[in-house]
Structure 1
């Protein structure tokens, strides 16, 4: 019998510890993540040869895809294209991590994220789509919605924040709303990030145990965990009733965060007919020097202490 067979509880505990370490590391920026991976996961033998090889592939492909995203951005600016990308999924499905990797190398004036809070009293009396429409892109812009108007089909439905009539009106309106946007020249790409019950539990537990990530866990998240099956039903109805040719849904298998990011970015790039835009050569001008210029000293009291 193997050591694992003799001590199954110890083996499970060790696997859980390593899984928590992976979840923690995954939230860091790539540059720091690579260093931490080397120090923690490689040094203690946590990564086997296959995992170590994929880790190298992940960073290589991520940087390559981010380079393509820069080309996409340049093309969007050059052509005046308008692109909207919706990211939906359960809490802790990895939407934010994917959005972060997409925007990481892009100009925030071109590609911005819309993550709207719960509607205020005034917004609740508006046309439902009104507050989302205010964030739609102008020519030469990309907007990534970290959750979107599909809140009504998900959290609002499950938590009882909308009436049955409002819910049905949403599904009557949303296909027409999106068709109208597409007719006006706005491209819409919709992603659902899919994870398992077990994976969400691990990610929630990681947020509970990591003080740097506890802010991500809201009372609403905890309640959504309890209502897993209701969310599943709501998601199934949403995909069925709002999957239209003009703006179809795409499901990202997101249990493995790194693979999900690569797959999502590559798929997004494939949805846009971009090409590399030629740029005029950039030349740094010579700095001007004036004999009468005297640089004024900065008072010591204004200097930030150099502790590092």
Structure 2
């Protein structure tokens, strides 16, 4: 098989697998709507980790009325003076809603610390209260699914270079992106602390190895669907590769350095 034929075959296999998983997502959404359940998916990861693309394939065939993607910008002065979680609370899923946070309150565990956008005491306060906050949400009926997309330093460099060259992607470039490689080790330290201290029974962190975007898409959706219940689930489709998508508990050796 030639190189082009192999690529075509791989793309075809990915498309078919993705389609089957998207059908399962529609089944889940139908169940959510009929039962009035609430699902919150939190997506974190370094700059260029593939959060936008992952959200796109998850939401592609879902009802826009009951699906929301939340990507909050920098807080205003008045928001900065409020309780830290306040602006996020306003975006939580209502009954029957499937909500995805493209970055979340965990900004305070990563970018805000590294870039000195918050004080040490603000960071400490966040780390000391976030588990209790999520526990309250879980006990109120919200299912919280937290995913960290993990990429290598080399892969991030390639993706940053691609953004700089591609006129269709240049809107994604920010001053923070430009500091990503320089601050690689600082982000690694924050990532490890976040995964270690904020992964709980009610809201565990799932790490997804994301150097290969298509593999990451398939395995994250498989993992997500395996963690929720809905009628007509095809369990044979939902066997994620445990080397690609795995609970963060004590598996720091698997993370990109």
Q: TM-score, normalised by structure 1?
A: 0.74
Quote the Cα distance in structure 2 between the aligned partners of 1:156 and 1:105: 34
Quote the Cα distance in structure 1 between the aligned partners of 2:182 and 2:77: 27
Aligned ranges 1:16-55 → 2 under 5 Å: 46-47=3-4, 49=6, 51-55=7-11
Aligned ranges 1:53-202 → 2 under 5 Å: 53-202=9-158
Secondary structure of the residue aligned to 1:152 is: helix
Quote the Cα distance in structure 1 between the aligned partners of 2:154 and 2:180: 14
State the Cα distance separating 1:46 from its structure 2 match: 4.6
**Alignment length, in residue pairs?**
233
Quote the Cα distance in structure 2 between the aligned partners of 1:219 and 1:162: 17
Aligned ranges 1:297-308 → 2 under 5 Å: none
State the Cα distance separating 1:276 from its structure 2 match: 4.2
What is the aligned-residue RMSD (CA, Å)?
1.4
Judging changes above 3 Å, is the alpha-carbon distance between structure 1 residues 149 and 267 closer, same or farther for their aligned structure 2 residues? same
The answer to whether the 8 A contact 1:83-1:143 is kept is yes
State the Cα distance separating 1:158 from its structure 2 match: 0.3
The answer to whether the 8 A contact 1:75-1:276 is kept is no
Secondary structure of the residue aligned to 2:4 is: coil
Instruction: Identify unmatched segments of 5+ residues in structure 2.
Output: 234-257
**1:290 is matched with which residue?**
none
State the Cα distance separating 1:54 from its structure 2 match: 2.2
Q: Which has the larger radius of gyration?
A: 1
**2:253 is matched with which residue?**
none
State the Cα distance separating 1:223 from its structure 2 match: 1.2
The yes-or-no answer on 1:269 pairing with 2:225 is yes
Quote the Cα distance in structure 2 between the aligned partners of 1:48 and 1:107: 35
**2:198 is matched with which residue?**
242
**1:291 is matched with which residue?**
none
The yes-or-no answer on 1:258 pairing with 2:182 is no
Secondary structure of the residue aligned to 1:262 is: helix
